[in-house]
Chain A
Amino acid sequence: MTKTFMERAVDWGRRKSPWIIHFNAGACNGCDIEVVDALTPRFDLERLGMLQQGTPRHADVLVCTGAVTLQTRDRLKQIYNQMPEPKFVIAVGSCACSGGIFDGCYCINGGVDSVVPVDAYLPGCAARPEAIIDVVNKLLKKWEEKQKEE
């Protein structure tokens, strides 16, 4: 399938400036702070064209931290469903990857992938901002390659 010029332009725009939304599904706050940290002067994710968005309807990438609690499970699904296609999910922190230290607690559903499909996993407790930049970068590269193949 060949893409029209307009479609290619949109793809390029998306790749160069993915908007992210951050959702805390039950994290200890450590990873959330590091995600926000990545957006502030020292690390400055905006260099890669990233912008944090308030609403899922504007976002391309869902950055999810923390093990999913029973309370947030449905909210996470809702937010995921509200995002427009194509969408990506990054699980930031050990908790988000597998449930981490909270795995087995009575109020924990599991990692993020127990609720929504995850594209990139970033372990670490807490994940460092450098790692967050790296994972975003890798995700974009992978996407670029996939688009070239199409």
Chain B
Amino acid sequence: MNQRITIPIGPQHPSLKEPGCFTITLEGEKVVSAVVGVGYNHRGLEKACEARTYIQDMYLIERVCGICSHTHSTAFCQAVEALAGVEISRRAAYIRVIMAELERLHSHLLWLGVAGHEIGFDTLLMYSWRDREKVLDALALLGGNRVNYGINTIGGVRRDISPSECEQLRSMLDFIEEEDKYFIDLALHESTLAARLGGIGRLSYEDALRLGAVGPVARASGVPTDIRVIEKYAAYDEFPMEVITDEHSDVFGRAVVRVKEIMESIKLIRFALDNLPDGELKVNVPRRIPEGEVLSRTEAPRGEDIHYVRSNGTDKPDRVRVRAASEANWHSVAHMLEGDYLADVPIIIAAIDPCYSCTDRAIVLDHRDTGCQQVLDWEALRRYSVDFYRERGFDAKSIKIPERKIIR
């Protein structure tokens, strides 16, 4: 007789570094359904951004996530620059690309280690994290810090790359390239790895589209989506790029995509170093940003990262919204878990390279059983806040919200 058991995993659990709670219903060893509970890391960043100036927000936005901090700040900068109507110099755009690709290197190596750890292959963790240190050294060399490098600023970048730093970068790249050849060989030919990762966490091409998967998860299902190619932000329009896809549609495919992307990133950085143009680092941007709204996209190591910024003519944004890549991928995780074994749960979750601090933005609670849905649209939210304050003796009705202007 099959009995169903529900087990909660998390929020503090041995396999992941961040808090997330999974409620998994099992039938024997098989997962029948999985509910992903996130939100433990929600700090209220978007609201905090509205209370600070654009320059202060830069520092806040970088700390949305410590792993892909550069992507977030690039997306935010692009949005503000578009609102202000300024164009950054080519050199600044190239430096942004170099940092973004270095970030991808370190993030993918990090993932490789975490994945190795989840399947009990700790040697891989130690190897890849050892190599990752070299990339962190390079990031520290260019940005001054190992984690939140703070290289971006509105209107350009804060630091230049000197010729001697270029040389050091090149020798680091040679090292990583050699190591990555080994990792590719390992991923493609090591039979134990293929046996462990193959066939679990399946996500078909159709499902990837239907559930809105992004980044390496989508690419491993054969969907050639890459914002660097689709939208060609920063300096990517000048770079020869190849979108790496894979047809395996499982965890193995995601590993293959990531190790191959490391190679691609190395090529991009080399190209950038060879063709680094001259120019100003930073153009001046007025403190007060004209009214308007902008949606800006970048390709984070984990996929598409969207920032929405609405300005109201002052030096503070009216609304900032961050839709990080992991947020899009959570929907597919619940789908991927169904039908797999309990023992595969950690690696399937790890395979999307989840980032909770990215994900935990605003939370919508959908109480289907009680029929009470706490989804408020803009107007309802405003009415709610007006009533809330009126009860406390303050009439917010008198405050006018500026009309939204859409710029294209």
Q: 0/1 per residue, B15-43, Cβ < 8 Å to A? A: 10111000000000000000000011111
Q: Contact flags (1/0) for B171-192 with A, using CB distance below 8 Å?
A: 0000000000000000000000
In the complex, are the beta carbons of A33 and B17 less than 8 A apart? yes
Given contacts A72-B11, A106-B47, contact A29 B67 (CB under 8 A): yes
Is B40's CB under 8 angstroms from A72's CB? Answer: yes
Contact pattern, A 125-141, Cβ under 8 Å of B = 1, otherwise 0: 11010000000000000
Is B19 a contact partner of A24 (Cβ separation < 8 A)? yes
Kindly state whether residue A86 has any CB partner on chain B within 8 Å. no
State whether A41 touches B43 (Cβ < 8 A): no
Measured CB to CB, the nearest residue on chain B to A128 is B146
- Asked if B59 is at the interface of the complex by the 8 Å CB criterion, the answer is yes
Q: In the complex the two chains form, is A29's CB within 8 Å of B146's CB?
A: no
User: A72 to chain B: which residues have CB within 8 Å?
Assistant: 11, 19, 40-41
Is A29 in contact with B14, judged by CB distance below 8 angstroms? no
Contact (Cβ within 8 A) B147 A34: yes
- With a cutoff of 8 Å between Cβ atoms, the chain A residues found around residue B67 in the complex are 29-30, 33
Give the CA-CA distance A33 to B110 in the complex, in Å. Answer: 9
Nearest CB in chain A to that of B66: its residue: A30
Of B124-132, B209-217, B236-244, B290-298, the one contacting chain A is B124-132
Known: A23-B12, A42-B133. A31 touches B126 (CB 8 A): no
- Select the stretch in A5-13, A97-105, A111-119, A142-150 that faces chain B: A97-105
| Candidate in A27, A32, A42 with the most chain B CB atoms within 10 angstroms | A27
Please judge, given known A-B contacts A41-B126, A105-B43, A106-B47, whether A28 and B63 are in contact too, CB under 8 Å: yes
Residues of A within 8 A of B147 (CB): 30-31, 33-34, 125-126
Q: How far is the CA of A37 from the CA of B147 in the complex (A)?
A: 12
**Is A32 in contact with B41, judged by CB distance below 8 angstroms?**
no
**Does B43 contact A29, Cβ atoms closer than 8 Å?**
no
Chain A residue nearest to B13 (CB atoms) is A54
Residue ID in chain A nearest B107 by CB atoms:
A33
Interface membership of A107, Cβ < 8 A: yes
Q: Contact: B129 with A37, CB < 8 Å? A: yes
A73 nearest in chain B by CB position? B40
Determine if B12 and A69 form an interchain contact, defined as CB atoms under 8 angstroms apart: no
| A32 in contact with B17 (CB, 8 Å) | yes
Interfacial residues of chain A within 13-37, with CB under 8 A of chain B in the complex: 22-37
CA distance in complex: A34, B45 (Å): 22
Chain A residues in 8 Å Cβ range of B43: 26, 67, 69, 102, 105, 107-108
Complex Cα distance A116/B15, Å?
Answer: 24
Does A79 make an interface contact (CB < 8 A)?
yes
Cβ A36 vs Cβ B48 within 8 A: no
Name A52's closest neighbour in chain B (CB-CB). B14
Q: Decide: A40 and B44 in contact? CB cutoff 8 A.
A: no
**Once the chains are docked, how many angstroms separate the CA of A126 from the CA of B126?**
21
Closest-by-CB residue of A relative to B117 is A36
Is A33 a contact partner of B60 (Cβ separation < 8 A)? no
Asked if A87 is an interface residue, CB under 8 A from chain B, the answer is no
Residues of B within 8 A of A31 (CB): 66, 147
Nearest-neighbour CB distance to chain A for B116, whole angstroms, equals 11
A contact residues around B44 at 8 Å (CB): 102, 105-108
Are B47 and A105 within 8 A (Cβ)?
yes
Q: How far is it, in angstroms, between the C-alpha of A35 and the C-alpha of B18 when the chains are bound?
A: 12
Alpha-carbon distance between A28 and B67 when the two chains are bound, in angstroms = 8
In the assembly, what is the distance between CA of A78 and CA of B11, in Å? 11
A22 to B18, alpha carbons, bound, how many Å?
9
Within the complex, the shortest CB–CB distance from A59 to chain B, in Å, comes to 11
On chain B, the residues within 8 Å of A81 by CB distance are none
Which of B59-113 touch A at CB < 8 Å? 59-60, 63-67, 69, 110, 113
Distance of A81 Cα from B45 Cα, bound (Å)? 30
List 16 A-B residue pairs with CB atoms under 8 Å apart, sorted by A's residue number: A27-B41, A29-B17, A29-B18, A29-B65, A32-B66, A37-B133, A40-B125, A41-B130, A54-B15, A69-B43, A71-B42, A75-B12, A102-B63, A107-B44, A125-B63, A125-B148
Q: Which 4 A-B pairs have the closest CB atoms?
A: A30-B66, A54-B14, A105-B44, A29-B66
Binding site for A on B (CB under 8 A): 11-15, 17-19, 39-45, 47-48, 59-60, 63-67, 69, 110, 113, 125-126, 129-130, 133, 136, 145-148, 355-357
A residues at B contact (CB < 8 Å): 22-37, 40-42, 53-56, 66-67, 69, 71-72, 75, 79, 101-102, 104-108, 125-126, 128
